[in-house]
Structure 1
Amino acid sequence: MEVKLTKIIVTLFLIFLTQTLAWAQETPPVTNFSPQDYKAHNQNWALAQSDDRTMYAANSDGLLAFNGANWRTYPFPDGQIVRTVLCENKAYRYNNPKLTQTQNRIYVGGFGEFGYWTKSNNGNLLYNSLSKNKDLASLATEEIWHIERTPEYIYFQSFSRIYRYDGHNILEIKAPGTIMFMRQVHQRLLVPIIGKGLYELKGQKFQPVVGTEQLSASIIATILPFDDQTLLICTNKNGLFLLKDGLLSPWTIAANGIFKQNLINKALILPNDRGIAIGTIQKGLYILDKQGQIKFHIHKSIGLQNNTVLAMTVDRHGDLWLGLDQGLDLIGLSSPLLTYMAKGNPLGTAYSAALWEGFLYVGTNNGVFKKKWPSTDTFSPVKGLEGQTWKLSVVKGALLCGHNDATYQITKSGIIKLSNVTGGWNLLLLEPRNQPALLLQGSYIGLHTYTYMGDKKWEYGKPIKNIPPIPIKYMARDKEGGLWISHAYKGLYYAKLNAQLDSAVVWKSITTDHGLPTLFNIEIQNIQDTIYIKSGNAFFTPGPSQTLIPSQRFAKAAQPFKIRPGTGDDWFTIFNNKVLLHRALKEPIPFDISLVGDYETIIPIDKKRYLFCLNEGFAFFEGQDSPSEGFNTLQTRITRITNLDSLNRHYPLDQKSTLPQWARSIRIGFALPVYGRNIQYQYRLLGLTDGWSDWSSLSMAEYTNLAAGEYRFEIRNNINHMVSRFDFEIAAHWYETVWGKLFFVALGFLLLLGLLWLQERRLQRNRIKLLLQKEKELEDQQKESERKFIELRNENLQKELKNKSQKLSNIAINVVRKNEILEEIRDELQEVKKDLGQQLPNLHYQKLLHSIERNVAGKEDWVLFEENFNEVHDEFFQRLRQRYPSISPSELRLAACLRMNLSTKEMAPALGISIRGVEIKRYRLRKKLALDPDINLVQYMMDI
């Protein structure tokens, strides 16, 4: 009965202890890497870190590599699960020169396969199999689950075989049973064998370890060096044992009962005396101190992705990595912070906190919560203070609360409403001489006072007169007693109170004319007895007569930041994703946290400890500095250079490497192997630009259309601002070389000469063309002038011809008239002769008649007619004589009359013949000219 009761009590105690520890919510920060982050299988079986700080995980999809910025998966040749990984580091001191490699290796194992990866000069990993083509028949059914390193050998272990590699040969060693994970501890290679206990491998033989016989019924998960002479043996279900000098005993600690209830899977000793980490199958991670007390229990409810721990390792910075059944987690053991994390966080966004009477009070958007401090208790709400809380402050031993609804004093028994002043953002304590202490409160509705009544009691006073009821978010008092006040949204003011501290005698608005970049969101902080006013990204300090002087201490930085005071000489700079604690004569302590935007609050708990208000709870700084191994000398590494035109083409990462001539668009990948922190980068490419890029969390830079030549890529980070450099050259195309350029210069010169020659030819052609055009124009003008002259001359000739024709006609008419008159006279004379007879003497008669006949056919008339006729008819007679040399003068006269188109009646008197004679002459002329009867004689003469 007593035994049963004892078991019940122990069980209840363990349950209580487990539940209590489950609420140990202030833990190191946890960073989750989900399968969606690394894009591989959820299960991770082993972890290791190389000398260059790259993290490797044995994943069900292959070997995972993480450089702090990018994940890559390297599958096994046949796609097997990678079960184990070991990085060959410089920290090993080898006795066997065969194992000393000039290039570090990443050893891996899986089903029927083991070997190693090495890094090529372009950043990729290349796999080399050690088991392939080896006469290892047993390996066909074996799976390598663990790799162990000793100074002489590397051991690849399955559950029934061990394959020993000496750098050249592989030796197979068969175990006397099923092996769990072998370990080298205290220079001894210890091999747990299920059902047989613990053995030591010496050479190729297994020898039982004295004192471990009772472990034959237990499954040994791992073996750790507890101290120089003692081994810590962790079993799956039977708890923890200590082995010293051949004596085995349970480790008598309270937590041992927990490990008998939960399956231990992995365990390791943490560096820097941080204790022991134990990973379980169902309850997540336990961290014990050296005395075996549980410091932290980290599980799914407070940050882990999964409670099944498959692998563990500690990185170079002292942080703990967990390979889980669902993802990878990083426990920030090196972080100086403890964070409050709980599933279904009841707090919400924290805006203020205070430590009072042994309790921690946290003011949030959901109200005020409290818990005993320090303790693993849960937070409980303070009744009556539900809703937005802005300020918790301990003043004169009293805890005051500035709430959205009113202002309260919190007591052990409840709350006391001090006033209906809403939105108490801040408090400023004044202790005037010979007067009770006074509190100034900035609120939604101006500035108010509270009077200290003694015995930790405060009473509301009144609003300060002559100060408008504006929302006052920040305020500070200078050495002359003046108040600097900032509006919650827009505005900066200066006020001076009277001696009674109940009215403002000076109220002055400070404008942008005083040098402020902006009046929006102005902050006022008092750091080391100096007031700093932040406007935009600039800081100012008050000067004489309310002037503002730019601060030399907080000059404009590359990244915007805010400042907050600490205790003593401590102060903080607050960036978007980190906070720096500055302490006298020490390097700043970085905290990778993001405070609540626009309400960045840091609460001093005591002289060294601080509480940071976060969007989901809070973080707590216990006052210790970071571990000695920092990141001050760690540089950003260039991880890959890729051709943007072909992303599977990578270039060597050797310094002074030469990229091919077609690599004109490249992507440069880089990473700082620091994990669990918010890292940002700045970079520039000298040879292209001298200016730094903006800060960015992207881990690559892209450049396009680069010219051939030498470049230097520089990269720096926000952790230590160290600058890494990578020099490279882009080879030139043949046409970009000196000879190519000379060729193009010569070709250009020849082309220029050719162009000049062509231009000259073109100009010459144009000149000739213009000359010809001018000549043509002149010729046309000349022709036009000649034409006009000819027309004028022809016109004159026509007129002259007309005149001559008229004259010729007149002559012909005159001749005809004269002949007609003479003929009439002749006829009259003949009639007179007939009538007078002899009365008219014959002598006179014949003389008159002969004179008349001579004038009728006179040569003078014909000569005059012929001259005028030739002028008018262009040598008509000459042409007619040339054609018909036998033509007679009388026939010429007839031809002339015909050309003048005279009628027969007109021709008879002109020719001095009768009409019948004219007809006869026409006939004879036609005959002499041999004209056809159908040819018109007149027309023929006109055509000659």
Structure 2
Amino acid sequence: MRFTKFHLLILLVTTALCSQVKNIGLPDIQNYKRSDYKGGTQNWDIDQDKNGNLYFANNNGLFQFDGSSWRKYNIPNSIAVRCVKIDNSGKIFVGGYSEFGYFKSNAKGKLVYFSLSKTINKSNLKLMDFIWKIHIHNDEVIFQSFERTYIFKNKKIKILEAPKRFQFSFQVKNHIYIQDISMGILEYKNGKLFQLKNTAILNNTEIWSMFSLPENKLLIATLNKGLFIYDNKKIIPWDTEANVFIRKNSSLGGVVIKDKFIVLNSVLEGIIVCDLNGKIIQHINRTKGLQNNTVLTSFVDSKNNLWLGLDNGISFVNENSPFTYFGFSYNLSTVYGTALHKGNLYVATNQGVFYHSWNNSTKEDTFKLVEGTTGQAWNIQVIDDQLFCSHNTGALLIAGAKTIKILDNIGYWKFMQIPNHPNYLIGSNYNGFSIFEKTPNGWQFKNRIEGFSKSSGSFEMEGKNIWIKKDNLAYRMTLSNDLKRFESIKTYQDLSETVKGIGNIQQLENKVYFQTNNHFYNYSYEQNLFFEDKKMSDLFANVPEINTLTQDKYGNIWYIFGESLGVLMKTKTGNYKNIVSPFSKLTGNIVYNNLSINTTGPNDTFIGLTDGLAHYDSNLLTNYEAKPKAYIRGFSFPGDTIVLGNGQKALDNYKIPYASNHVKFTFSSPSYENLENLEFSYQLEGFDNQWSNWSTNVIKEYTNLREGDYTMKLKARTNYGKQSEQTTLNFCISPPWYRHFLAYLFYISLVIASVYFIRKRIKTKIRKNKYYETIEQRRLYLEKESKIRQEQYELEKEIEKLKNDKLQIKILAKDKELVNNSLQVVKKNKILNGIIYKLKDINVESFDESTKFQFTKLNKSITKEVNADKSWKDLEKHIKNVHFDFLKRLKEKYPTISPRELDLSTYLLMNMSTKEIAEIMNISNGGVELARYRLRKKLELNKKENLIGFLMSI
């Protein structure tokens, strides 16, 4: 334990000294390929303007990056740009082959190039060659090539020839140094060069950078001779770790971070970051995340993050982050647990337990596999100053680089000391729980605990009670005094009748808590019930719904919500501060179902990830308190584009023609630490009623805007939750010509003239209408009078017709009545004929004369009545009168029909029976049927058609 405390003290001191650059793990690195910025190979120089835009001198031109988009700018006569420097006024000075000058934004933000080299009379000069360095010194701009130096001051250029041939120049503090291949290092002062004593020793090598050291010393980095110290008298090698690295890998310059750390670029192995004593803090190369090992230039931006111009590509190193990482370059995979033990950092992964010496810097070596631990390791714990490993193959004891003892041969999850039993451990395994005992020969497996055989990944102890969550149930198991069995096992599905379910079980402040929906409960053993701890629940009232949490040894409570991490950081006053935003970068990378948090110091926490291990230094979080800046970077519409943030004056209510009412905005924020999680919110005042939702979109378009005044408002938010101040852009869309003020005047005049003209026309028309109305009324009167007369005449005709119809109806009624009477007469005659026929059968010879005379007289009288009756002829006549129209239509339709058939048709129409027809027509019933058949045939009726119905339809 003494060693561990000593280690923690070293760690704290190192962190305090470093204050920014961490020697623990690697910072986050973002690589930009040539295909991202569509440029050439080799990036030679980098600078940043006051708005945060970055500029890269590339073989294919000058590239600008604002965090959202890349823009390319060319200079005449030279494709390649070798150097770039920005002054306080926003001028971007550049140099290329035989060309140098500056870019300056015009009123619309477009960078326009102004050549300075054209102002030189080149007839007296030899080849200008490449401009390699630019320095802004006092009120001068110095352009340095190998042949000479051009000094731009007061709009004039002064030429300073090289004594022999320049190499490179450097600006250190407020001094300008230039190397000459014959005179060594020269200092530029007041337009002249002064030789530094005893520096010609470096004439046979190239100097690529110079840095300021304490006590007015200079650190000189050469291409292939290493690092040297110059104390104004002599040059001596810098005997440090950094010099060993540079002598081996060659130097290509470097940069200083906050006057505390020196970044040294190399040809073969990326970069190193060392302190002012030459101790290497970080080494970053291709293996550790760079896309290229040759670093041509390095630059520290306004937030003290590092940009590297590579031989092929650009890299961003997030040195200002509280996070560093041990990933694939350190030979780590998914991490389930960590532990510091006797000078080593141990990491439990899905491939085994790995270790790294913690006394030495972790900048170089990878983690090595602990012998005998290949396979899934679930946990690594320091208990009783020994290292216990919960492994898929068993319970292991580890010392140094190997497994020294296998305590049990089944898979284990976790170990814990039993309260009030310091010599006993309990371990959860794939088959339940086991007890381990400390003996004079060390820790030994003692026994399995009987009564429970389920696999339990996590458990908590409270006295003799063990709590676990399994299969949506909470188990409370009470250990026997001999630790061999569970005296009782009880299960709980709900916390109460109203609070359903149990989310998880964890120990906080040495108490076992049961949590569901961010409400925390304790268990009362006396009352056998759960009761809520209001204080703890209130602590999580404003925290997203959690699923896992753990408390470190400093009292900080780490929790998982979704796939994200947060922490309630305990303050000195005993309160808690909720911190979530910094950990958004780890979202989706946390092993959320097996949370691994190991806080080894007040500001040092190791977090297990799905692809390695993260180190979190909360002391560096203060660097992220500053608000980001939001820029409306581009404002375009058909016919024009305005680029903002390039140093031009702000637009003041820019006017857009109505034909160009389709506008597009592009956003940016120079917050390069985590661009993928940088979010924007906007509102177009005059169109949008409220701010938009936060989004990573950097482009917004509006189409078919109406005329009027608009204000585009923009805010940015970093992944640390910090919001920028509001940025605004005012513009006005002119109305179309038909809605212009002059157009409305024209419309009003036109309306007045139209009203006058229409009024005059209406008056004229009214007079004409009155004249025509009089004539029309006269015409209508005459027409009406004529119509009345015509109606009167037609009415009289109608009355006469009605009278005739009424008379005809009476006649028809009489005819029908006569027909009926005639039918009765026919029946009477038929009866009389029957009587006559029967009288013939009477033998009158038997009668006396008187009776015989009376009988004969009666017979003659009846015969006379029958022969004298003309009812049948009258019947036929009246039948024809009644059905004249029907017989006429039938005859017209069927000309071949006979009179006899016409009579039959009439009788059928009158609905007379076959017997009645037979009597009238004086034929038999069979004759009537035969007549009907012949009539159907003549009328061409089929068997299914009804004859009477057909006749009635005619």
- 1:721 is displaced (CA, Å) by 2.3
2:373 equivalent in structure 1: 385
CA 1:197 to 1:439, structure 2 compared with 1: closer, same or farther past 3 Å? same
Structure 1 residues 146-225: aligned runs within 5 Å: 146-185=133-172, 187-225=174-212
Task: Identify the match of residue 598 of structure 2 among 582, 600, 603.
Answer: 603
CA 1:792 to 1:529, structure 2 compared with 1: closer, same or farther past 3 Å? same
- 1:607 is displaced (CA, Å) by 5.3
Q: What is the letter of the counterpart of residue 352 of structure 2?
A: G
1:497 equivalent in structure 2: 478
Q: Secondary structure at the match of 1:605?
A: strand
Deviations 1:295-351 (A, max 9, x none): 3332222222212111111122222221110211233333344432554x5332222
Report if the CA contact (8 A) 2:664-2:699 is conserved.
Answer: no
Does structure 1 residue 306 correspond to structure 2 residue 292?
yes
Instruction: Give, in whole Å, the separation in 1 of the partners of 2:790 and 2:748.
Output: 48
CA 1:391 to 1:109, structure 2 compared with 1: closer, same or farther past 3 Å? same
Instruction: Give, in whole Å, the separation in 2 of the partners of 1:81 and 1:787.
Output: 116
Structure 1 residues 336-375: aligned runs within 5 Å: 336-341=322-327, 343=329, 346-375=331-360
Instruction: Give, in whole Å, the separation in 1 of the partners of 2:691 and 2:548.
Output: 23
Deviations 1:329-379 (A, max 9, x none): 233333344432554x53322221222233222111112222332335443
Task: Identify the match of residue 631 of structure 1 among 624, 627, 640.
Answer: 624
2:278 equivalent in structure 1: 292
CA 1:188 to 1:666, structure 2 compared with 1: closer, same or farther past 3 Å? closer
- 1:58 is displaced (CA, Å) by 0.9
Does structure 1 residue 226 correspond to structure 2 residue 213?
yes
Q: Secondary structure at the match of 1:217?
A: coil
Does structure 1 residue 414 correspond to structure 2 residue 403?
yes
CA 1:729 to 1:322, structure 2 compared with 1: closer, same or farther past 3 Å? closer
Q: What is the letter of the counterpart of residue 507 of structure 1?
A: T
Report if the CA contact (8 A) 1:684-1:690 is conserved.
Answer: no
Q: What is the letter of the counterpart of residue 153 of structure 2?
A: D
Q: What is the letter of the counterpart of residue 57 of structure 1?
A: F
Report if the CA contact (8 A) 1:83-1:146 is conserved.
Answer: yes
Does structure 1 residue 318 correspond to structure 2 residue 304?
yes
Larger Rg: 1
Does structure 1 residue 670 correspond to structure 2 residue 664?
no
Instruction: Give, in whole Å, the separation in 2 of the partners of 1:189 and 1:393.
Output: 56
1:640 equivalent in structure 2: 633
Deviations 1:730-756 (A, max 9, x none): 535537989799999999x999xx9xx
Tell me how many residue pairs correspond in the alignment: 727
CA 1:242 to 1:383, structure 2 compared with 1: closer, same or farther past 3 Å? closer
Instruction: Give, in whole Å, the separation in 1 of the partners of 2:298 and 2:710.
Output: 45
Q: What is the letter of the counterpart of residue 673 of structure 2?
A: Y
Does structure 1 residue 681 correspond to structure 2 residue 684?
no
Instruction: Give, in whole Å, the separation in 1 of the partners of 2:122 and 2:566.
Output: 57
CA 1:631 to 1:347, structure 2 compared with 1: closer, same or farther past 3 Å? closer
Deviations 1:545-580 (A, max 9, x none): 325679333345689897543331334466767766
- 1:85 is displaced (CA, Å) by 0.8
Q: Secondary structure at the match of 1:184?
A: strand
Instruction: Give, in whole Å, the separation in 2 of the partners of 1:602 and 1:173.
Output: 62
Report if the CA contact (8 A) 1:633-1:720 is conserved.
Answer: no
CA 1:435 to 1:145, structure 2 compared with 1: closer, same or farther past 3 Å? closer
Instruction: Give, in whole Å, the separation in 2 of the partners of 1:606 and 1:698.
Output: 39
CA 1:614 to 1:82, structure 2 compared with 1: closer, same or farther past 3 Å? same
CA 1:640 to 1:261, structure 2 compared with 1: closer, same or farther past 3 Å? closer
Task: Identify the match of residue 539 of structure 1 among 518, 539, 546.
Answer: 518
Instruction: Give, in whole Å, the separation in 2 of the partners of 1:530 and 1:739.
Output: 77
Does structure 1 residue 792 correspond to structure 2 residue 781?
no
CA 1:244 to 1:129, structure 2 compared with 1: closer, same or farther past 3 Å? same
2:609 equivalent in structure 1: 614
Q: What is the letter of the counterpart of residue 626 of structure 2?
A: T
- Using the size of structure 1 for normalisation, the TM-score is 0.67
1:725 equivalent in structure 2: 726
Q: Answer with 151-160 or 313-322: which moved more.
A: 313-322
Report if the CA contact (8 A) 1:659-1:729 is conserved.
Answer: no
Instruction: Give, in whole Å, the separation in 1 of the partners of 2:799 and 2:76.
Output: 107
Q: Answer with 491-500 or 277-286: which moved more.
A: 491-500
CA 1:649 to 1:162, structure 2 compared with 1: closer, same or farther past 3 Å? closer
Q: What is the letter of the counterpart of residue 159 of structure 1?
A: F
CA 1:553 to 1:129, structure 2 compared with 1: closer, same or farther past 3 Å? farther
Q: Answer with 187-196 or 302-311: which moved more.
A: 187-196
Structure 1 residues 103-114: aligned runs within 5 Å: 104-114=90-100
CA 1:393 to 1:174, structure 2 compared with 1: closer, same or farther past 3 Å? same
2:33 equivalent in structure 1: 34
Report if the CA contact (8 A) 1:567-1:608 is conserved.
Answer: no
Q: Secondary structure at the match of 1:210?
A: coil
Structure 1 residues 749-764: aligned runs within 5 Å: none
Q: What is the letter of the counterpart of residue 216 of structure 1?
A: N
Q: Secondary structure at the match of 1:402?
A: strand
CA 1:60 to 1:436, structure 2 compared with 1: closer, same or farther past 3 Å? same
1:84 equivalent in structure 2: 83
CA 1:674 to 1:555, structure 2 compared with 1: closer, same or farther past 3 Å? farther
1:64 equivalent in structure 2: 63
Q: What is the letter of the counterpart of residue 802 of structure 2?
A: L
Instruction: Give, in whole Å, the separation in 1 of the partners of 2:542 and 2:35.
Output: 39
Report if the CA contact (8 A) 1:367-1:389 is conserved.
Answer: yes
2:766 equivalent in structure 1: none
Report if the CA contact (8 A) 2:714-2:727 is conserved.
Answer: yes
Instruction: Give, in whole Å, the separation in 2 of the partners of 1:581 and 1:151.
Output: 50
- 1:691 is displaced (CA, Å) by 6.2
Report if the CA contact (8 A) 1:115-1:130 is conserved.
Answer: yes
Gaps of at least 5 residues in structure 2 are 1-22, 524-528, 759-779, 813-954
CA 1:119 to 1:346, structure 2 compared with 1: closer, same or farther past 3 Å? same
Instruction: Give, in whole Å, the separation in 2 of the partners of 1:784 and 1:543.
Output: 110
Identity %: 25
Instruction: Give, in whole Å, the separation in 2 of the partners of 1:62 and 1:420.
Output: 65
Instruction: Give, in whole Å, the separation in 2 of the partners of 1:461 and 1:691.
Output: 67
Does structure 1 residue 713 correspond to structure 2 residue 713?
yes
Gaps of at least 5 residues in structure 1 are 1-23, 90-100, 755-770, 803-944
Task: Identify the match of residue 115 of structure 1 among 87, 95, 101.
Answer: 101
- Using the size of structure 2 for normalisation, the TM-score is 0.66
CA 1:213 to 1:671, structure 2 compared with 1: closer, same or farther past 3 Å? closer
CA 1:543 to 1:352, structure 2 compared with 1: closer, same or farther past 3 Å? closer
- 1:644 is displaced (CA, Å) by 7.4
Deviations 1:884-927 (A, max 9, x none): xxxxxxxxxxxxxxxxxxxxxxxxxxxxxxxxxxxxxxxxxxxx
Q: Secondary structure at the match of 1:259?
A: helix
Q: Secondary structure at the match of 2:138?
A: coil
- 1:147 is displaced (CA, Å) by 0.2
Report if the CA contact (8 A) 1:464-1:503 is conserved.
Answer: no
Structure 1 residues 834-873: aligned runs within 5 Å: none
Report if the CA contact (8 A) 2:269-2:294 is conserved.
Answer: yes
Deviations 1:175-225 (A, max 9, x none): 122212212336443210124322233444433222113222222222222
Report if the CA contact (8 A) 2:102-2:114 is conserved.
Answer: yes
1:75 equivalent in structure 2: 74
Q: What is the letter of the counterpart of residue 194 of structure 2?
A: Q
Pairwise CA RMSD of aligned residues? 4.6
Q: What is the letter of the counterpart of residue 380 of structure 2?
A: L
Report if the CA contact (8 A) 1:655-1:726 is conserved.
Answer: no
Instruction: Give, in whole Å, the separation in 1 of the partners of 2:375 and 2:791.
Output: 107
